Amino acid sequence: MGKKQYRVNVYEDGDVIARVRYNSCLDYWDGRNWTNGGVGRHKGLTKLRDGRYVLIHGTQWQGEKDWAEIISPEQALQEILKSGNTELLKTKKFAELKKLYEKQMVQEEEEFEEESLD
């Protein structure tokens, strides 16, 4: 998974409100390629200094540009969970999302020993 070392425009309501470093931390190995969203498509996630989350959309297709958008904390958590890259929740940057995960996720019922009905 090659890293592009440049900045991507972040859009909100059609306006560029920030520029962030490109990353594809939401990609996963599909058996042939690092991807997320189809062949030649990539996704990354970051956080602005003001606390807002940014979803980065990357592309390898000629004529298309990488771009990014502001998303809610709930959307950011869902993107992490869907990608399977839950190790991101252990990072300082996404500590708020880890708390949200612990609060919102329904826990599996604990195993218990079968009792004898004698």
pLDDT (tens, 9 = 90+) of the chain, 118 residues, equals 455 579 999 999 999 999 999 999 998 887 777 877 677 789 999 999 999 999 999 988 888 899 999 999 999 999 999 999 999 999 999 999 999 999 998 877 877 666 666 5
Q: What is the pLDDT of residue 118?
A: 57
* CA 112 remoteness from chain centre: 35
According to DSSP, the β-strands at 28-29 and 15-21 are: unpaired
The Cα–Cα gap between 12 and 87 comes to 28
Length of the chain, in residues: 118
The Cα–Cα gap between 91 and 12 comes to 26
Q: Can you list the alpha helix ranges (DSSP code H) found in the chain?
A: 73-83, 95-104
Contact 21, 55 (CB under 8 A): no
Would the pTM count as exceeding 0.75? yes
Q: What is the pLDDT of residue 68?
A: 97
Contact 70, 12 (CB under 8 A): yes
The Cα–Cα gap between 20 and 100 comes to 24
